[in-house]
Homo-oligomer: A and B are copies of this chain.
Amino acid sequence: VKGPRRTGVRVGLVGSAFMGRAHSFAWANVASVFGEVSRPELVAVCSRDRGRAAELAGRYGWGESEEDWRRLVERADIDLIDVCTPGALHKEISVAALQAGKHVLCEKPLANGLTEAVAMVAAAQEAWEAVGAQAVVGFNVRRFPAIRLAKDVLSGAGTLRHVRASYLQDWLVDPEFPMTWRLDRSQAGSGALGDLASHLIDLAQYITGQQIFEVSSLMQTFVAQRHVAAASSGLSATSGADLGHVTVDDAVAFVSRFADGPVGAFEATRFATGHRNSLRIEVNADDATVGFDIERPNELVVYRPDGGLEGFRCVNVTEGAHAYMQAWWPPGHVLGWDHSFIHQARDLLIGIVEGEKVRPDFADGLQVQRVLDAVERSARAKQWQTVQESEPSYGNHVLND
């Protein structure tokens, strides 16, 4: 049985691209920054592209590099499998790892489809009960201090009325930008929906403490054919000669209702000229409004009544009293996007040591998946769709505590 441990957690990473690098950065730094955390051991990294795995190993100090993720799952000297692959592999790897009694950190969205996500939750539940294995989904945006503060401000700020959230990028505006795996439904599951809107949905449900229960949506593919990528890295790529069919959405927009009354307006796109990576969310409660923009992640916009001096204020969320910030720099010395992954690693490692379930877990990921599924159904049916009932959750599962 997994239990509290004093030595460092032994990590195996699957994936060596954009997310693989961001997670490596996190594992390498988490114990240096957070003194309360034992240093994880970077045992092995795995990628279908062996050379890239080896390079990442050299960079970040992974002990070994592998081509087949099964090698990692089989190893007894690995405690945690970190899944940074395209969505198509999330289920197979995660379930195998959980069945091998390992903790799993799986990138978002949890899966490419609802069936897979349900299976993953089942495996997670079993592994939790059997060996206390963590099964966490990588919604890193929750880990910004500003998001924690947003949730705090809203609790006790009266009735919630509105959520509006958008995730705008523009890397597909250029029609010469090539096909990559992110534009292929068989690998990515969906486009802007799963990649971008999934963050919005998780954030919205987390901050408000309420689930979305119905949606009406549209999905759009603006450019249907693109040249197949010769090479890609992160969100950049170069084109080859062959044409491929874009099988995912370039953009999605939906209106929605939350469990206890607020209404939501959501939008995600890769065609918003000028927006490199603009994730924004605003929530209006009767007694407060909060707003966040991931391109200025150290700031939280807050509105609260104040006797005639009300106004949207920009809180610099870098004080020692703010979540995670005691470990960093003096006030006003801002963090970057990548620091959120260090926070994620910290929370996960502490949960492992203390034997406490870390959130967002696979059940949270499944709930997001259900919303993604309802959005897809609604876009096809051109009418409102209800978000599927949750499977009986394992443990005493309360949203967002």
Contact = CB atoms under 8 A, between A and B. Distances in A.
A251 B216 CA distance: 16
A311 interface: yes
Interface string A273-316: 11111100000111111000011111110111010111111111
A303 B272 CA distance: 11
Given A315-B309, A336-B336, A274 B255 contact: no
A316 B255 contact: no
Nearest to A318: B276
A136 to B, nearest CB: 21
A303 B161 CA distance: 27
Interface stretch (A20-28, A76-84, A94-102, A393-401): A20-28
Interface stretch (A103-111, A261-269, A351-359, A360-368): A261-269
A344 interface: no
Nearest to A261: B222
* Residue among A273, A333, A384 facing the most chain B CB atoms (10 A cut-off): A273
A392 interface: no
A153 to B, nearest CB: 7
Nearest to A35: B59
Interface stretch (A3-11, A113-121, A162-170): A162-170
Contact of A265 (B18, B253, B285, B288): B253
Copies in the complex: 4
A33 B338 CA distance: 12
A148 interface: no
Contacts of A313: 309-314
Interface stretch (A183-191, A203-211, A324-332): A324-332
A383 B214 CA distance: 12
A308 to B, nearest CB: 6
A335 interface: yes
Contacts of A162: 251, 267, 269, 271-272
A255 B253 contact: yes
B218 A257 contact: yes
Contacts of A306: 304, 306
B315 A314 contact: no
Given A234-B330, A251-B162, A28 B18 contact: no
Size class of the A contact interface (CB-based, 8 Å)? 35 or more
Nearest to A301: B311
Contacts of A269: 161-162, 284
A383 B217 CA distance: 10
A316 B276 contact: yes
Contacts of A331: 171, 235, 276-277
A350 interface: no
A32 interface: yes
Interface in A195-239: 216-218, 220, 222, 234-236
A336 to B, nearest CB: 3
A321 interface: yes
Interface of A: 18, 21-22, 24-25, 28-29, 31-33, 35, 55, 59-61, 149, 153, 159, 161-162, 164, 166, 169-171, 173, 216-218, 220, 222, 234-236, 251, 253-257, 261, 263-265, 267, 269, 271-278, 284-289, 294-300, 302-304, 306, 308-316, 318-321, 328-339, 382-384
17 contacts: A18-B330, A21-B329, A153-B309, A161-B269, A162-B269, A162-B271, A216-B382, A218-B257, A273-B287, A273-B303, A274-B289, A278-B332, A299-B311, A304-B306, A309-B313, A382-B384, A383-B383
Minimum-distance CB pairs A-B, first 4: A277-B332, A276-B332, A274-B303, A313-B313
